Amino acid sequence: MLNLSELKTLELFNEKVDRLKENSFVKHVISQKTGFTISWEKDKDLMIEKRFPEKESIEAFVLTLRYFIQDNEKISLRNIAKIYDKLPSGNQKKGLFKDALKNLNDYLDTPDKQLNIKENEKELSKREIFDIIIYGELAHSNEKKRQIYKRWMKRPVFGVIIENEFIIILDYIMRILTYLQEKNDQLIIEETNFLDFNHLL
């Protein structure tokens, strides 16, 4: 059984997911096809057409996303996992939460098999791309990671591929968060009913 403080933490998680849903980044990804086109004509410069969300919307999205990825926040995914760990072993939602978290980690730890993004013959995992852009450019200024980010962006074609991959990663994370929000809603109802029932005894 979860206590009121833990239930309020789940509610806060859900509120922050709602904030992400309202962001124009999410609306862009849902309503439009993101991506890029590279074209070239003889005696002309290489043309790159980006169909990305506005940079400001990505920055605003990441600002809220940090609540879920930084462990000093009580609604980080790792800290929410600790709440789910308190549920009985047979609880279905406990298993579903663990499965969703595993799917996210497996996704982040694998390279994109279609694009096969490499630097110096080393395949880049989605987690590496996410980490470099978040902590080297958007959320923090880790100097080592910033230098890597700047090196990537100096190469126009490689840079746009990286940017596109980052948007795809954010979209996948958003889908996982939305799924977990649904599980939280169901769990909050169950646990609140249980608390109310015990209060009557």
pLDDT in tens, 126-163: 999 999 999 999 977 789 999 999 999 999 899 999 99
The pTM score is 0.90
Nearest residue to 100 via CA among 5, 178, 10, 190: 178
Q: Which two tokens stand for residue 56?
A: 């400001």
Q: Which domain holds residue 57?
A: 4-200
CB 131 within 8 A of CB 152: no
**Count of the separate structural domains present in the chain:** 1
Residue type, 34: T
Which of 84, 90, 92, 132 is CA-nearest to residue 108? 132
Residue of higher predicted confidence among 166 and 31: 166
Could you tell me the end-to-end alpha-carbon distance of the chain, in angstroms, rounded to an integer?
16
- pLDDT at residue 195, as a whole number: 59
Output the six-digit token pair for 70: 């930084």
pLDDT value of residue 108: 96
Residue 23 — pLDDT band, cuts 50, 70, 90? very high
Cα-based angle 32, 151, 51 (whole degrees, multiple of 5): 10
Tell me which of 182 and 114 has the higher pLDDT. Answer: 182
Residues in the chain: 201
Q: Are 133 and 166 in contact (CB under 8 A)?
A: yes
**In the chain, where do the E strands start and end?**
35-39, 47-51, 118-119, 122-123
Place of tokens 């890029």: 36
